[in-house]
Structure 1
Amino acid sequence: MAGLHYNKNGEPMSPSSKLLVLYTGGTIGMQMTAAGLAPASGFEARLKAEQLAHPQRPVPHWIFREMSPLLDSANMTQANWLQMRDAIVEGVDRDGCDAVLLLHGTDTLAYSAAALSFLLLGLPAPVVLTGSMQPAGVKGGDAWPNLFGALAQLQAGVEPGVHLFFNGQLLPGARVSKQKSEAFDAFAESRRPLRGKRTEQIPSDLDYRQPRRPVTMAVQPLFPGLGAAQLHAVLESGIQCVLLECYGSGTGPSDNLELLAVLKEAHAKGVVLAAISQCPEGAVEFDIYAAGSLLASTGLVSCAGMTREAALGKLFSLLGVGLPQGEVERRLGQDLCGELTG
């Protein structure tokens, strides 16, 4: 077949023959209201009309589902991640769909792609997320090119796993971030260092069939002047984990003994402490500097070169399935879906 895709082993991938199009809202389907652009129903009819107007485009057979309520993705929550996960699993396991196209707003598109990468481990079908910077129907806009570009990818065959298609590129769901707020090439694959070894077999307790529950999480960037009292307030707020955005290779205010004591105390109480680098192309290696080693001595665990989105999605999945603190810390160092090795 012309345009057929091949996997990393050189084997042809199967084109989709029954695709689930899952519409969650976002700019791609928004229409103007008195208050401005807002998510709107009726996108299935608009998609069919656009497809009929361009019959030359390669499109697999698809069925359509619309999530309720439709969202501006700035309002995305963990409950919505779980709702999307349930709809995808139902489409694949119950309805026999062999691929999923998820339409999503761009503000939190990378967060959802990362979260679903871990929530859908082992799913035997590809999931491709896309959206647009402008609503469908805008002349010269990116909505239809992104949507039909994703459909063409699925028609040619995509490997199982979670992917993001945007501006002509198919990107790995666990390694992507939004880099621009207006341009059509808003998303890019992370250039953070790749370290680690891919887990050969998905652990059964992290399989996509395993139910998850909400997790209380926090992100705390380090900055000059961050006080122990401020950090203590975050850690004592009932959270199960905190993602510290450290300097450089994983350093921080290691001469602040009170701050280090706050971290140790929280870890002793069961809070998972995880670290990423603030540098867009950085990775955490605590043992390069003494400042990093002192931070690590509090129980802080390296997320190596993971993005913020991937680290949060992974913490959500691991804690959401009920793993204890020590097991979560161990699994953070395992590459489950390309978040560490690409």
Structure 2
Amino acid sequence: MNQENKRILMIATGGTIASKRSETGLKPLITSDELLSYVPDARHFCQADAIQVLNIDSTNIQPEHWLLIARTIEDHYNQYDGFVICHGTDTMAYTAAALSYLIQNSPKPIVITGAQKPIDLEITDAKTNLLDSLRFASCSRAHGVNLVFDGKVIAGTRAKKERTKSYNAFSSINFPYVAVIHDDHIIFYLDDKDHVTGPAVFYHHLDSKVALLKLIPSMDAGVLDYMAEHYDAVIIESFGVGGIPARETGDFHSAIERLVRSGKTLVMTTQVTNEGSNMSVYEIGKNIKQEFGLLEAYDMTLEAVVTKLMWILGQTQDPQMVRELLYRTINRDILYPV
């Protein structure tokens, strides 16, 4: 099929790109059809339809919304050649990662985009981002879940918002850009669609009982006990390459022992954005990892770890299967040699 004949479904969920000013601040009010009207040049390379599934600030995004978006794509998968999701930027990286696990092995491109400024402003990044996304979703060499923003194509599991105001808000963490888009040209750095075999696989369950504990000096380990009581999995963001505070009281050691013995899932990661964790480097991490067989995120982003655990625990509670699935590479999410 020629690029100009591609059928693309744009799915609107709200966010800054669809916002207008109100007395209480920016609020998503622009409809899906209105969004498309701002990018008339898209008619030159695709036939785009629009559907509105949400119109919310992305701060309010929940796992149920990820399931709704994935289900919408599944319901329309056979009718379209590609999909573009317009989304708020604040939780966009979480949504991109979640969709990477809910929709796997897709030969059709699924693109998430948004903007730092509303699309109805004279000076905005929204029109460029939306047009670039429609263009990428129309490309015969594109596949899988990716985030398109500021001319960069980022694997859905590798995106992180690192700037709150600038147009270059998102970076690809511990992984190269999939492609860049300049004017009407797409330059691929990773051109591997021929590796996608078989049909797309859709999943329909997530376990939202995943918690994050960000360590700070002086933290009481009782917080971990509370989390173990209320969640099925806990992610600990430690310092540097990873470790657990070793106090004379042994409070963190004891709390981790209780959590692991109770059958809950514990994953160690790092607060540092780039280069990932490796608990085997220092004694303070190596000993406790070996004692309890702790899982480790390595080079995965926090957004990927959170949503991957939700997806895994939505399929199985078996510890061995949890370990196997966490370390299985899905949409480029983990490369570290484990």
2:33 corresponding residue in structure 1: 44
| Deviation sequence 1:56-77 (CA, Å, 0-9, x none) | x744111211014x11000010
Q: 1:47 to 1:221 in 2, by over 3 A?
A: same
Is 1:115 paired with 2:108?
no
CA distance in 2, matches of 1:158, 1:74: 33
RMSD of aligned C-alpha atoms? 2.5
Please tell me the residue identity of whatever aligns with 1:163: N
CA distance in 1, matches of 2:129, 2:256: 44
| Deviation sequence 1:216-259 (CA, Å, 0-9, x none) | 0100112211222222122222x010111111112121345221
Q: 2:82 aligns with which of 95, 99, 117?
A: 99
Q: 1:148 to 1:164 in 2, by over 3 A?
A: same
| Deviation sequence 1:95-151 (CA, Å, 0-9, x none) | x21210000000000110011111111233110000000001211210101001111
1:61 corresponding residue in structure 2: 47
CA distance in 2, matches of 1:102, 1:187: 16
SS at match of 1:20: strand
The residue correspondences of 1:190-201 to structure 2 (distance < 5 A) are 190-191=173-174
Report if the CA contact (8 A) 1:15-1:154 is conserved. Answer: no
Report if the CA contact (8 A) 1:16-1:157 is conserved. Answer: no
Q: Matched residues, percent identical? A: 26
SS at match of 1:129: strand
Report if the CA contact (8 A) 1:267-1:299 is conserved. Answer: no
| Deviation sequence 1:288-336 (CA, Å, 0-9, x none) | 1111123312342011111100111111111112342321122212212
CA distance in 2, matches of 1:101, 1:165: 10
Report if the CA contact (8 A) 1:20-1:62 is conserved. Answer: yes
Please tell me the residue identity of whatever aligns with 2:27: A
SS at match of 1:282: coil
Is 1:302 paired with 2:296?
yes
CA distance in 1, matches of 2:225, 2:5: 50
| Deviation sequence 1:190-219 (CA, Å, 0-9, x none) | 0379xxxxxx89999xx7333214320100
Please tell me the residue identity of whatever aligns with 2:145: V
Equivalent residues, number: 316
1:11 corresponding residue in structure 2: none
1:140 corresponding residue in structure 2: 123
Tell me by how many angstroms 1:90 deviates. Answer: 1.0
Displaced runs of 4 or more, over 6 A: 200-204
2:232 corresponding residue in structure 1: 240
Answer 1 or 2: which has greater strand percent.
2
SS at match of 1:287: coil
Q: Is 222-231 or 79-88 further displaced after alignment?
A: 222-231
Q: Is 142-151 or 153-162 further displaced after alignment?
A: 153-162
Tell me by how many angstroms 1:32 deviates. Answer: 1.9
Report if the CA contact (8 A) 1:235-1:242 is conserved. Answer: yes
Q: 1:39 to 1:22 in 2, by over 3 A?
A: same
| Deviation sequence 1:138-195 (CA, Å, 0-9, x none) | 11210101001111222333432110110111111111100000000000100379xx
Q: 1:16 to 1:243 in 2, by over 3 A?
A: farther
Is 1:172 paired with 2:165?
no
Q: 2:320 aligns with which of 326, 329, 337?
A: 326
| Deviation sequence 1:4-50 (CA, Å, 0-9, x none) | 9xxxxxxxxx77711110001101111122222111143303423x3
CA distance in 2, matches of 1:16, 1:154: 12
SS at match of 1:310: helix
In the superposition, the TM-score normalised over structure 1's length comes to 0.85
Tell me by how many angstroms 1:92 deviates. Answer: 0.3
Unaligned runs of 5+ in 1: 5-13, 194-199
Please tell me the residue identity of whatever aligns with 2:9: L
SS at match of 2:160: strand
Q: 1:285 to 1:47 in 2, by over 3 A?
A: same
Report if the CA contact (8 A) 1:17-1:60 is conserved. Answer: yes
